[in-house]
């Protein structure tokens, strides 16, 4: 067994963090590495990044680029390559700094009014785009709306929706769940949560809000089990003390691959993966 310790800062890091109007991102949170998705390469049917850069990159270097946290970008690339969708689907908006979200919010308020902005633009500090794990996608058309791009449930967009679950993405703001997500239906907004969480969320027809609550029913002695192909997963929640001086402790078996993510609420989610063949 290996012993892991988790502190307050671990709660706001990882692929499963919940970010919404009641779960803002902490100011001091550090961004993971970013990968830039160069739109110009989409025209050639190739979806590539210009390598990994860190968040400290000068603003001017990032002008016009759409970026995502590196692992999420890598998975998006795989979906796009498999669908050969490079010239049919465009990335519209990915990672945003707090300042960029403030600008988008203020511009939308001025141009579209408070009702529209309240429905489609998250309050600065509470946007999933600030995590680097969210991406807005558009079907490639002559005119693309920056805030509400078209991403219909047909053709290549439907294929993206179906395949991207296997690569860790969920459609984050589905129709009929606005009371829970506190954001209007946004068929263009995808969120990377990692596999197998994406698959379980889809099978349960959950929102991320509901899934994060559901996982609190599971502990190391009574984990959520999920099997797919040659892998068996065990998923459980570990509460983390709010006191910065205290740590939560978890024992992880040897020779098992393990992913850890905070939930941006009160703890971390541990996902163990075993090879069953």
Residues engaged in binding Zn ion (CB under 5 A): 136, 189
Q: Which is nearer to Zn ion, 189 or 237 (CB)?
A: 189
Q: Which is nearer to Zn ion, 53 or 189 (CB)?
A: 189
Q: Could you say which of 186, 209, 210, 234 is catalytic?
A: 186
Question: How far is residue 76's CA from residue 221's CA, in Å, rounded to a whole number?
Answer: 34
Question: How far is residue 208's CA from residue 249's CA, in Å, rounded to a whole number?
Answer: 25
Q: Which is nearer to Zn ion, 17 or 240 (CB)?
A: 17
Q: In the complex, what is the shortest distance from the CB of residue 9 to Zn ion, in angstroms, rounded to a whole number?
A: 26
Nearest to Zn ion by Cβ — which residue?
189
CA angle 97, 101, 104 (to 5 degrees): 140
Q: Is 186 a catalytic residue?
A: yes
Q: In the complex, what is the shortest distance from the CB of residue 189 to Zn ion, in angstroms, rounded to a whole number?
A: 4
Q: Which is nearer to Zn ion, 136 or 234 (CB)?
A: 136
| 106 within 8 A of 99, measured Cβ to Cβ | no
- Pair type for strands 267-275 and 231-239: antiparallel
Q: In the complex, what is the shortest distance from the CB of residue 274 to Zn ion, in angstroms, rounded to a whole number?
A: 35
Question: How far is residue 130's CA from residue 151's CA, in Å, rounded to a whole number?
Answer: 22
Q: In the complex, what is the shortest distance from the CB of residue 242 to Zn ion, in angstroms, rounded to a whole number?
A: 30
DSSP string covering 205-263, please? T--HHHHHHHHTT-BTTBPEEEEETTEEEEEEEEE--SSTT--EEEEE-TT-EEEEEE-
| 276 within 8 A of 256, measured Cβ to Cβ | no
Active site residues: 186
């Amino acid at each position: 067994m290996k012993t892991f310790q988790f502190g307050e800062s671990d709660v706001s890091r990882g692929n499963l963090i919940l970010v919404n109007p009641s779960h803002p991102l902490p100011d001091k949170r550090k961004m993971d590495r970013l990968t830039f998705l160069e739109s110009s390469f989409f025209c050639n049917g190739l979806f590539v990044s210009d390598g990994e850069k860190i968040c400290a990159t000068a603003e001017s270097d990032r002008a016009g680029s759409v970026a995502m946290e590196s692992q999420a970008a890598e998975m998006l690339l795989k979906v796009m390559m498999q669908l050969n969708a490079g010239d049919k689907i465009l990335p519209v908006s990915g990672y945003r700094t707090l300042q960029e979200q403030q600008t988008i919010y203020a511009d939308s308020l001025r141009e579209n009014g408070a009702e529209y902005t309240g429905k489609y633009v998250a309050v600065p500090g509470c946007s999933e785009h600030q995590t680097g794990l969210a991406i807005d996608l558009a079907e490639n058309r002559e005119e693309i709306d920056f805030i509400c791009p078209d991403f219909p449930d047909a053709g290549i967009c439907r294929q993206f929706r179906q395949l991207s679950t296997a690569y860790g993405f969920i459609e984050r703001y589905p129709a009929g769940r606005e009371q829970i997500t506190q954001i209007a239906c946004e068929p263009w907004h995808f969120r990377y949560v990692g596999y197998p969480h994406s698959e379980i969320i889809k099978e349960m027809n959950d929102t991320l809000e509901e899934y994060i609550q559901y996982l609190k029913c599971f502990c190391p002695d009574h984990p959520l089990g999920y099997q797919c192909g040659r892998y068996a997963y065990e998923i459980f929640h570990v509460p983390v003390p709010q006191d910065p001086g205290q740590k939560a402790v978890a024992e992880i078996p040897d020779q098992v691959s393990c992913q850890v993510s905070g939930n941006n609420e009160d703890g971390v989610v541990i996902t163990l993966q075993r090879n069953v063949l």
